[in-house]
Chain A
Amino acid sequence: DAKTTQPNSMESNEEEPVHLPCNHSTISGTDYIHWYRQLPSQGPEYVIHGLTSNVNNRMASLAIAEDRKSSTLILHRATLRDAAVYYCIQGTDTGNQFYFGTGTSLTVIP
């Protein structure tokens, strides 16, 4: 069962930053926080993941709350190609099984 909570949808203007929130209040000390996104007619695409510290890569930044019960995916400048469903996933501590929730559908407005 999905263990994370995300808003169903969000909108952003093109070239503006986007902050996608996620709550994972039942996360254990060894669970990672993963973010994937899925464009129409494609498989999910890895975005970023982290354990405790904030993480940055070429696609996005991940800000993890100090108590680890929530996190925020930050897209620094939204483009039309960023329009997708974004999934926040709490990684299990028994293996690599992901329980996807319904995700956040991001609409980018030109």
Chain B
Amino acid sequence: KAGVTQTPRYLIKTRGQQVTLSCSPISGHRSVSWYQQTPGQGLQFLFEYFSETQRNKGNFPGRFSGRQFSNSRSEMNVSTLELGDSALYLCASSPRDRGNGYTFGSGTRLTVV
């Protein structure tokens, strides 16, 4: 059974650019969440999608956005990149609603220069 796939694994962008990260959840999983991990702030919740609808959003500026497609694949976009956006971005999927375990991908390492 394939796990959660995130692409690309590594990315280097210049300040001011925008970036799109992709997440393919485990087949049959309808819930997808995104997290940002940095050494200073740890793991922080970005947003969660279920059946193409954003259900929850963390405390991040509007430059961070996401969407989920009908096949449950999800993308997140960061516009006008800042140096502080350098982080590991993790995607996690779950087969159903609350109380269920999440499977995380290995993440996309974004470096903003």
Say which one of B11-19, B50-58, B72-80 lies at the interface with A: B50-58
What range describes how many residues of B lie at the interface? 20 to 34
Asked if residues B107 and A102 are in contact (CB atoms below 8 Å), the reply is no
A29 proximal to B (CB < 8 A): no
Binding site secondary structure of chain A? loop
What range describes how many residues of A lie at the interface? 20 to 34
Q: Which residues of A contact B4 (CB under 8 A)?
A: 43
Say which one of A7-15, A16-24, A45-53, A65-73 lies at the interface with B: A45-53
Asked if residues B98 and A32 are in contact (CB atoms below 8 Å), the reply is yes
Q: Which of A83-100 contact B (CB under 8 A)?
A: 87, 91-100
A97 to B42 Cα, complex, angstroms: 15
Asked if residues B55 and A95 are in contact (CB atoms below 8 Å), the reply is yes
Asked if residues A98 and B98 are in contact (CB atoms below 8 Å), the reply is no
Q: Which residues of B contact A (CB under 8 A)?
A: 4, 31, 33, 35, 42-45, 48, 50, 55-56, 58, 90, 92, 94, 97-107
Q: Which residues of A contact B (CB under 8 A)?
A: 32, 34, 36, 42-46, 49, 51, 87, 91-103
